[in-house]
Amino acid sequence: MREIWDLLDENGNKTGKIFERGTPFPEGYYHLGVDVWIVNAKNEILIQKRSRNKRNSPNVWAMTGGSNLKGETSLQTIEREVKEELGITLNVQDLQLMTCYKTGNVWLDEYFVRQEVDLKDIVMQPEEVCDVKWVTYEEVQTFVEKGEFIEERWEYVRDFIRNKLEI
């Protein structure tokens, strides 16, 4: 399936222009990416290991996320990505926006949600995900320090998550 993205300006506003994934990305523009950090009642964070076939950051741990398709809202994107990659329905009404920031050619919206998920209910999309697990805040920090977690995410959300976990 072709992915068409809305192009954003340097302030994160839609420009009315579009981009097809896989073609050279136009300089001076951005697209929207969305991540969600799912946390259970035991204060564990649901992480997924990216498929070894991923072009960017293969075989590393990450939160669930993806790119916004043309016309989607940020919330629609994360709901779709969680369903596609993990086969679960996200409690969208409980999402809290933690932060928005620019990195590379992406504007990222980072969300937090408290939700119980039984790992047995997860259906991984093999092109995207090869493993899932619940981990502690400290374990995510260790993965980051060892270079085993996707880059340029944790540093933007770790303080918010730590405060939510009250640690």
Domain residue ranges of the chain, discontinuous segments joined by +: 33-64+73-165
For residue 92, the Cα-to-chain-centroid distance in whole angstroms is 14
The dihedral over CA atoms of 103, 104, 107, 109, expressed in degrees to the nearest 10, equals -40
In angstroms, the CA 13 to CA 32 distance is 10
Whole-model pTM: value is: 0.94
In angstroms, the CA 65 to CA 25 distance is 20
Residue-wise pLDDT tens for the chain (167 aa)?
Answer: 689 999 999 999 999 999 999 888 999 999 999 999 999 999 999 999 999 998 888 999 999 999 999 999 999 999 999 999 999 999 999 999 999 999 999 999 999 999 999 999 999 999 999 999 999 999 999 999 999 999 889 999 999 999 999 87
Q: What are phi and psi of 83, to 5 degrees?
A: -65, -45
Q: Looking at domain 33-64+73-165, what is its CATH homologous superfamily?
A: Nucleoside Triphosphate Pyrophosphohydrolase (3.90.79.10)
DSSP string, 7-53: EE-TTS-EEEEEEETTSPPPTT-BEEEEEEEEE-TTS-EEEEEEPTT
In angstroms, the CA 35 to CA 74 distance is 9
Q: What's the confidence (pLDDT) of residue 26?
A: 93
